[in-house]
Amino acid sequence: MVDKTPARLFMMTGDAGTGKTTDARMIAQILGLPYYVFTCGPGTDELELLATTVPNMGGTAHLEMELPSLEDIEMDPASALATVNGIYEEGISREKAFREILKAVYEKGYEKSKNEKDFLLKESEIVKACREPSVLEIQEPAMIEKPGTLTRLNSLFDDGAVTDLVNGEQIRRNPDTIVIMTTNLDYVGCQNFNQSVLSRMNLIQPKEALTEEEMVKRAMKRTGFKNKELLSFMAATVCKIHEYLIEQDITDGVCGYRELENWVLSYMVSNDLRRSAWTALLSKASMDREEQGTMERVFLLPHCDVD
């Protein structure tokens, strides 16, 4: 399937929960390729894109020595000690033999582990994805605050280009690795992040927000909830709150398909529309208690008789 076309870099934009990650996973599944995901955060830096260092907790040194049992030490302390350090001390007491055995084991263990590194280099999912044909989703690249961080990846995005891993190894993106950047921003919002990265994307695919009807269908299928009338009301409420958040410029919360699904699941357990709305919907739509109360009053309470 290797060809010379470099169309392997895509960006998918759209609201939270519209299905970008699911699409990326489906593309991997359809193509029979492994799927890797890297999630960016405000603090993501150049190094983290390629590798992280982790403390060497496990250690690889294993003691390859035969240890005597407690019974061996009881019965014949001199022979028990000799199996560990090779020295047979005629008439040695059990206590002394035991101490000598502990000392020998400690020294051997120390010798083995002193050559081990304190930290290990763990390559990122991005590097792993570059090593074999795969689908790599880079989530929310626009979240990265440090300007220019993503440009480190340009060298991997360019055809045939290489980038250095921290240990000096040169990494080249497999020509069949497909990179999909996914972001909640629309195309205009994306302009905020580095133009040179943006210009390398072969295609930018906006994912349309789900309609109420699509939300109802999806939620019904995924939750098994059968009450279509109530579900339609819940989907309509989610959409209205979503619009309200945009209108009021409320940016400290979300209200989309995922919240609908959680609301339905919560309702199925509690049978209480209002309470489940608080836990799954209103508390996520905004962090402001007053704002949450307003949304409940305007969008929920007048219709609670559907319950």
Q: Considering only the stretches 11-19, 81-89, 196-204, 224-232, report the one whose residues sit in contact with ligand ATP under the rule CB under 6 A.
A: 11-19
Using CB under 6 A as the binding rule, the residues of this chain from 96 to 125 that contact ligand ATP are none
68 binds, among ligand ATP, Mg ion, none (CB under 5 to 8 A by kind): none
Report if residue 21 touches ligand ATP, rule: CB under 6 A: yes
17 binds, among ligand ATP, Mg ion, none (CB under 5 to 8 A by kind): ligand ATP
Pairwise CA distance, residues 38 & 181, whole Å: 10
128 binds, among ligand ATP, Mg ion, none (CB under 5 to 8 A by kind): none
- If 0-12 CB within 10 Å is exposed, 13-18 middle and 19+ buried, where does residue 259 land? buried
Report if residue 205 touches Mg ion, rule: CB under 5 A: no
Report if residue 218 touches ligand ATP, rule: CB under 6 A: yes
Pairing of strands 119-123, 51-55: antiparallel
Residue 295: closest CA among 232, 237, 227: 237
Q: How many residues bind Mg ion (CB under 5 A)?
A: 1
Pairwise CA distance, residues 83 & 236, whole Å: 77
Residue 225: closest CA among 237, 239, 235, 240: 235
Q: Considering only the stretches 10-18, 28-36, 85-93, 269-277, report the one whose residues sit in contact with ligand ATP under the rule CB under 6 A.
A: 10-18
Report if residue 21 touches Mg ion, rule: CB under 5 A: yes
At 96, the amino acid letter reads K
Site string for ligand ATP, 181-210 (x = CB under 6 A): -x-x--------------------------
- If 0-12 CB within 10 Å is exposed, 13-18 middle and 19+ buried, where does residue 183 land? buried
Sign of CA dihedral 38, 195, 155, 30: positive
Q: What angle do the packed helices 94-113 and 77-85 form, to 10 degrees?
A: 10
With respect to ligand ATP, which residue has the nearer C-beta, 167 or 251? 251
Binding site for ligand ATP (CB under 6 A): 14, 16-22, 182, 184, 218, 222, 257-258
Q: Give contact residues for Mg ion (rule: CB under 5 A).
A: 21
